[in-house]
Amino acid sequence: MTQRIDAAQPTCHILREDPDLADVLPPTQRERATAECIARTMQIRAGSWDGEPIGNLTGGIGLLVLDGLLLRRVGVDGRYGGELLGAGDLLRPWQGEDAHPAVPRTIGWRVLKPTRVAILDRGVAHRMAHFPELTGRLVERALERSRNLSLLIAIVHQPRVEVRLQILLWHLAERWGQVRPDGIALHMHITHSLLADLIAAQRPTVTTAMSELTRRQVIVPINGGWALRGEPPSRQVTQAIL
C-alpha cells in the first residue's frame, strides 16, 4: 500500500486544536496546559495510507486526528468491515500489525479527506502527564471508539439492509451532521462500496436500498452527501441495537 504523507508540519498547541480536551481541566490550569502541550503535526493526503507515522513513537500515545476523515478497513476471507474515524479520534495504526493472528486478515487505511494529525510521542506524553485529566479524556475517547464499533456490530445484525443503512446514516449524522431547515445534512463523500463495508452488505444491494430510501424521501441527495428527513429510526429499533 502506498504511503501518502507530506512532510511534518510545525508544532501545534493541542488544546487549541482540540478544545474538548481543555474542557476537562480546571480553569486555573488551562492556560499553562495550553502553552505546554504542544506536538508536531503530520499531514496525510487523500488516498491509501500504510499507517506508518514519521519518527519513533515507542513509549508515546499515538496519533490524534485534528481534522479530516479516514477509513480503517479489515477483511477476512474476502469480506470486509469498515470504521470511519475523524477529528478527536486517537489512532495507533501500527499497533499489532506485525503480529501473526490465528485468523488471517487484511488491514488497510484509506484517507477519504486530507487529514492532519498531532503526533503524541514520548515527549508529548511526558508533558501531558502533568495534567492527569487529559489522560482520562484520551482514554474516554478510546472507549468511545470501542463503543461505536459495538454499535456497528449491532447494526449489521438488523435483517433488512434498508434499516441498516438508515440507522448507520443517523449514527454518522450524530457526529458529522449539520442541522438545516429541511433535515440533517451529512456532507460525506461515501461510496456505496464503502457503505457496504460498514453495514456488511454487497454493493449492489446497498445501491438498491439507497434508491428505495431516496424514493421514499427518507434521504435526499445533496451536493457532497445526503439530507436525512423525518425522525431518527424508531425507538424500538434503537433500543434493540444498544
For the stretch 127-136, pLDDT in tens is 999 999 999 9
The reply to whether 9-145 and 157-241 are identical in fold is no
Least confident of 5-9, 209-213, 214-218: 5-9
Start-to-end C-alpha separation, the chain: 36
Q: Mean pLDDT across the stretch 69-87?
A: 85
Position 1 scores a pLDDT of: 38
Percentage with pLDDT > 70 across the chain: 87
Q: Quick check: 240 pLDDT over 50?
A: no
Q: Which pLDDT score, from 0 to 100, does residue 99 have?
A: 61
Q: Domain extents for the chain?
A: 9-145, 157-241
Nearest residue to 145 (alpha-carbon basis) of 67, 89, 198: 89
pTM: 0.85
Q: How far apart are CA 38 and CA 15, in angstroms?
A: 8
Which grid coordinates belong to 73?
A: 478497513
pLDDT band at 93 (very low <50, low <70, confident <90, very high): confident
pLDDT at 237: 52
- Residue 51 sits at the vertex; the CA angle it makes with 73 and 22, to the nearest 5 degrees, is 100
Flag whether pLDDT at 241 surpasses 50: no
How high is the pLDDT of residue 107? 78
Going by C-beta distance under 8 Å and a sequence separation of 6 or more, which residues neighbour residue 154?
A: 240, 241, 242
CB 89 within 8 Å of CB 99: no
pLDDT, position 2: 41
| pLDDT, the chain, mean | 86
CATH superfamily of the domain spanning 9-145: Jelly Rolls (2.60.120.10)
Burial letters for 199-225: b for 16+ Cβ neighbours within 10 Å, e otherwise? bbbeeebbeebbeebeeeebbeeeeeb
Q: Note the pLDDT of residue 96.
A: 62
Residues of the chain above pLDDT 90, percent: 62
pLDDT at 4: 47
157-241 maps to which CATH number? 1.10.10.10
From CA 120, how far away is CA 55, in angstroms rounded?
A: 11
Taking 70 as the threshold, does the pLDDT of residue 62 lie above it?
A: yes
